[in-house]
């Protein structure tokens, strides 16, 4: 059931991504039409005529979002994220006093299990401290890597706070994985 649910969510995310990219593309086209009509028009009536003419011509053009570079990159990122997931336990539930009750135990940049999880106070997403610090050390214009993150601010070291509850849960999870691996290797001997 969980696999089916994950597949449904992935399909919905692809559809929503396609819709969003389609809307962005249409908006860019409309902005270009407005600019072009504004440049060519001398009067308001002239502008309205030019805008209607350009818009009619634009509406005849087909828009296939799935062929756009942006959609291909979005889809590739989703495939990459899904292939690196651990289906047994990708997310953990946190205590009620945390801002978000469910988050991934895997770093969005390295895709590895976080050992020192920090929470970005601007958007609430979690990263591994070592990976985020290595990335922002050389480039201060890095935004949150989570697809769909609403935060437009750059990730800054002073915005990152240690999440001890998540760190504890990850350590328990890692210990359980190690025990399971030991049991499997003993059974194989």
d(CA 158, CA 155): 9
- Mean pLDDT over each residue of the chain, to the nearest integer: 82
Mean pLDDT of 31-45: 90
Q: Between helices 2-40 and 69-83, what is the axis angle to 10°? A: 160
Average pLDDT (110-135) is: 91
Confidence of residue 88 (pLDDT cuts 50, 70, 90): very low
Report pLDDT for 3: 78
pLDDT at 92: 52
- Give the model confidence (pLDDT) of 60-73 as tens digits: 888 888 888 888 88
Which residues in 61-100 are b (16+ Cβ under 10 Å) and which e?
A: eeeebeebeebeebeeeeeebeeeeeeeeeebebeeeeee
Strands 160-162 and 117-120: antiparallel
pLDDT in tens, 160-185: 999 988 889 889 888 888 887 787 76
pLDDT for residue 110 is more than 70: yes
Confidence category of residue 82, pLDDT binned at 50, 70, 90: low
161 token code pair = 């706070």
pLDDT recorded at residue 189: 54
CA within 13 Å, CB half, 38: 6
Q: List the alpha helices (DSSP H) in the chain.
A: 2-40, 44-60, 69-83, 129-138, 164-188
pLDDT at 113 over 60: yes
- For residue 19, is pLDDT > 50? yes
78 vs 116, more confident: 116
Least confident stretch, 48-52, 73-77, 118-122, 146-150: 73-77
Mapped onto helix, strand or coil, the DSSP state of residue 145 is coil
């Amino acid at each position: 059931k969980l696999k089916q649910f994950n597949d449904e969510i992935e399909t919905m995310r692809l559809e929503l991504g396609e819709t969003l990219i389609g809307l962005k593309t249409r908006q860019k086209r409309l902005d270009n039409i407005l600019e072009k009509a504004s440049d060519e028009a001398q009067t308001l009536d002239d502008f309205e005529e030019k805008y209607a003419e350009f818009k009619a011509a634009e509406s005849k053009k087909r828009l296939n979002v799935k062929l756009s570079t942006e959609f291909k990159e979005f889809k590739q990122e989703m495939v990459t994220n899904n292939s690196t997931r651990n289906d047994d336990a990708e997310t953990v539930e946190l205590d009620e006093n945390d801002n978000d009750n469910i988050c991934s135990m895997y770093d969005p940049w390295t895709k590895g299990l976080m050992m020192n999880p920090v929470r970005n106070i601007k958007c609430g997403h979690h990263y591994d401290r070592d990976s985020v610090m290595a990335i922002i050390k050389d480039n201060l214009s890095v935004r949150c890597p989570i697809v769909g993150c609403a935060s437009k601010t750059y990730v800054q070291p002073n915005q990152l706070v240690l999440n001890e509850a998540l760190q504890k849960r990850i350590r328990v999870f890692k210990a359980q994985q190690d025990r399971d691996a030991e049991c499997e290797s003993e059974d194989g001997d």
